[in-house]
Amino acid sequence: MLFLRKHFEALKQRLAAEGHELLGPDFNVGDGVLDRFIDVPPYLMEERGLPENQWGKVNQVGHLKIAIDGFACTCFGLIIRKALSG
C-alpha cells in the first residue's frame, strides 16, 4: 500500500484528537540532484551491469525516490509526541 498526503494528515488529526502530536510531517520534495532523480525498476544495481569496486561490491548510485506503478515514492520518518498522562 502506498500512503498519500491525505493519509498522514488524517493520522495527524486522529492523534491530535487523542491529545498526541504528530510533528510535521514535512512534504517538501526538495530541489537537490537526488531529489529530482526517480529511480525505476530494476532497482538492484547488480542487474544494471555496473562495475564492481575494489572490494568486490557493485558501485551503487544513490536514490531517494523510486517509481512504483507510475508513482514517485519515497519514505520518511514520523515523530509522535505522546500526550502527557494526567
DSSP letters along 59-75, please? P----SEEEETTEEE--
Model confidence, pTM = 0.70
- Residues 24-75 have pLDDT tens digits of 888 898 888 888 888 888 776 555 555 555 555 555 566 788 899 989 998 8
**H or E stretch including 11?**
helix 5-17
Residue recorded with cell 531529489:
35
Residue recorded with cell 520518518:
77
